[in-house]
């Protein structure tokens, strides 16, 4: 990536229609640079529509990513659920690539009372095979397991970076709000943000910082982690320092906003980043 782009998780609320094509056009009208296609309830987009989405994104100069369905658990005790999870990620990657989306984001797994090493071994094996399959089939998409918002979910910062370091074709999605919620309020200071980006560079080198995919929003949380997303200014999230650290580290890639007010907070993040003093 040549720069850091900001956008919304799905079609902006102010779009005249709820379709992806109209969403991309509205992103450009707003002066934003990217949009995440939300396949969270299932991959229902047909190939013809995917081609229209790609053509629109290329015309408007809007970068795309995909969020795969929520119903994914690569550590399920039931083989059929693992097979269904792999299928959902694969379908997201296939249609996403037709759309021109560069990254396929998903929540990887639950611990189910197993230790991190056991879950890591299982998830890495499955993702390694899937990444190889995508490469063999010429599907140009990067798999991005996301840092998760609850301690019961596999996907801490270190786990996510280890997957990316280990598996070719895998890079992280750093959901900074999830890190904040998962830890019941940590990951919210200038030094903590520096530590996160320092670890990204430690595991993945400069490529990790120059090909970031991030989620940022306000978030409510408790002892069990994430509850729901909030508008940034109605939350305790320290987005101003995060944007300053992004500038300090020369971060490039995509920042997707999942706040309830979508484009309003995406524009707030973009303006804060551009005006940050570092």
Q: Indicate whether 155 pLDDT > 80.
A: yes
10 Å CB burial of residue 77 (0-12, 13-18, 19+) is exposed
Q: What is the pLDDT of residue 191?
A: 98
Delimit the domains of the chain by residue range: 4-275
- Could you give the 3-state DSSP secondary structure of residue 210? helix
pTM score of the predicted model: 0.97
The fraction of the chain above a pLDDT of 70, given in percent, is 100
Fold of 4-275: TIM Barrel (3.20.20)
Rounded Cα–Cα distance for residues 127 and 168 (Å): 9
Q: What is the pLDDT of residue 278?
A: 60
Q: Indicate whether 126 pLDDT > 90.
A: yes
List pLDDT tens digits, range 252-275.
Answer: 999 999 999 999 999 999 999 999
For residue 183, how many other CB atoms are within 10 A of its CB? 17
Q: Indicate whether 20 pLDDT > 80.
A: yes
Q: In 10-34, which positions are buried (b, 16+ CB within 10 angstroms) versus exposed (e)?
A: bbbeebeeeebbebbbbbbebebbb
Q: What is the pLDDT of residue 276?
A: 80
Rounded Cα–Cα distance for residues 80 and 181 (Å): 31
Find the mean pLDDT for residues 209-214. Answer: 98
């Amino acid at each position: 990536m040549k720069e850091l782009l900001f956008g919304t998780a799905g079609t902006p609320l102010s779009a005249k229609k709820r379709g992806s094509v109209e969403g991309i056009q509205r992103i450009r009208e707003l002066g934003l640079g990217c949009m995440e296609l939300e396949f969270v309830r299932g991959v229902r987009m047909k190939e013809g529509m995917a081609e229209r989405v790609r053509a629109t994104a290329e015309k408007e100069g809007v970068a795309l990513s995909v969020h795969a369905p929520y119903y994914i658990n690569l550590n399920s005790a039931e083989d059929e659920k693992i097979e269904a999870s792999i299928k959902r990620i694969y379908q997201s990657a296939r249609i996403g690539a037709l759309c021109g989306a560069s990254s396929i984001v998903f929540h990887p797994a639950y611990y189910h009372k197993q230790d991190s090493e056991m879950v890591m071994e299982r998830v890495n094996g499955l993702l390694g095979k899937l990444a190889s399959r995508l490469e063999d089939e010429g599907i140009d998409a990067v798999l991005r397991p996301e840092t998760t918002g609850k301690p019961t979910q596999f996907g801490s910062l270190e786990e996510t970076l280890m997957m990316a370091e280990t598996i070719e074709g895998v890079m992280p999605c750093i959901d900074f709000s999830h890190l904040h919620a998962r830890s019941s309020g940590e990951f919210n200071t200038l030094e903590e943000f520096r530590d996160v980006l320092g670890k990204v560079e430690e595991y993945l080198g400069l490529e990790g910082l120059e090909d970031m995919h991030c989620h940022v929003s306000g978030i409510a949380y408790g002892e069990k982690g994430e509850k729901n997303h909030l508008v940034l200014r109605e939350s305790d999230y320290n987005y101003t320092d995060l944007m300053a650290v992004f500038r300090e580290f020369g971060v490039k890639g995509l920042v997707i906003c999942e706040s309830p007010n979508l484009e309003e907070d995406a524009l707030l993040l973009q303006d804060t980043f551009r005006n940050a003093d570092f």
